[in-house]
Structure 1
């Protein structure tokens, strides 16, 4: 076999791999999008792309994905939780943002302790626990400088009485947290149980700087692999 022919075969194999990979992710996007027609397809696409980047570079598989669209007001349902294996929607509900992120709309985000602002980007959920707000869920931010201080800031999923339709009817918006994605007490246990133990959460906002620089949205394999290795205690 000539060197030229071998090179041609390798090129075709590479093209085939590229072509075959795209429909798989597109199929998941199409499937999930059909189950959640109120979720902006581009936001869901970004969430899946960020998750896939993590999976391709050392992050263990997940069974579920939560998506928060902070471009929507708190008075709208802007939290979606998906079962990735069955490709179905588990929940569409309200979620609060931080006091200093804005009123009905969140427009400011931070990674700093004491900012009382929400964080955007890709997170990995971790352990559940009983705390000040009852049954809650800790998480780790995966994006340096964007959300990687989430655990130090005690950014957790928890129940809050100010997350309710009655609060919206009275105030025109949800109440606000210290930066946590707080949820309705009626669904809090279901949310924590469905997301605990290493699932993904993606919080979106059309921040152009973040969209252009995110290591996961603009997948940077070496840097992502190094971050994930550090988080799991493995030398990168």
Structure 2
């Protein structure tokens, strides 16, 4: 099947299979396209519900580099270049090519209104932080069931735990809120999810998976070592 060929070719890219020669029986050699493109095109979902290829590519580059340090193969992608009214968070199983969950997600109150335009790693900035994180332990706090995050990129998000940047549910992060106000409500920097979806999302990604938050920030895009091919 074409889908199986896509997955096998992607696994070649991350070094699981040693033989680089793989062709489809009914089409052109599959090796004529790069593995990230094949992986992206193999994602199950409507085109409107997929992350952009640009953001997916950056996320996969980091995911590939972090393989040996991850306990879970699940990859979460958040695209803060999209408005908060868009479903801009995806939980993906890259090896199966499946989108497990697609949802709206809030950004920090000082990052912007409808659009997140400013980012910070500083405590009390109340801004979102870009880059790669690993998911850590769950706990029950003032927002209920929540998930701690550890930032992996010095200077961009390594203060996440000190800042109590976590994934949690919030009524202001629900689509109904956005319909009445014109945007989602905003957090103190946490990627907050709709209250009815947060527990499901947390259980999918907790305990050692990778999360990538993208934003249009020249400094991050230039300096991050994890998004370099």
TM category (shorter chain) comes to 0.7 to 0.9
Find out whether 1:42 has 2:54 as its counterpart.
Answer: yes
Cα contact 1:29–1:48 (8 A) shared by 2: no
In the TM superposition, residue 26 of structure 1 has moved relative to its aligned partner by: 4.2
List runs of 5+ in structure 2 lacking aligned partners. 1-17, 22-30
**Number of residue pairs the alignment of both structures matches:** 200
Q: Normalising by structure 1, what TM-score?
A: 0.79
Give a deviation string over 1:155-207, Cα, whole Å, max 9, x none: 00000010112211211000000000000011011011001010111000121
Pairing 1:109-148 to 2, within 5 Å after superposition: 109-148=119-158
SS at match of 1:194: helix
Equivalent in 192, 204, 207 of residue 217 of structure 2: 207
Distance 1:197 1:86 in 2: 20
Structure 1 distance, partners of 2:174, 2:100, is 19
Question: What is aligned with 1:92?
Answer: 102
Runs of 4+ in 1 over 6 A off after TM superposition: 19-22
Deviation at 1:30, TM superposition (A): 2.8
**1:95–1:163 Cα contact (<8 Å) kept:** yes
- 1:25 Cα deviation after fit: 4.2
Match of 1:29 among 40, 43, 47: 40
**Aligned residue runs from structure 1 range 1-236, under 5 A:** 23-32=34-43, 34-35=44-45, 37-38=47-48, 39-55=51-67, 58-60=68-70, 62-218=72-228
Cα RMSD after superposing both structures: 2.0
Alignment check: 8 A CA contact 1:96 1:174 kept: yes
Secondary structure at the aligned position of 2:99 is classed as strand
As a proportion of its length, which structure holds more helix? 1
The normalised TM-score by structure 2 is 0.81
Structure 1's unaligned 5+ residue stretches are 1-16, 220-236
CA distance in 2, matches of 1:192, 1:36: 23
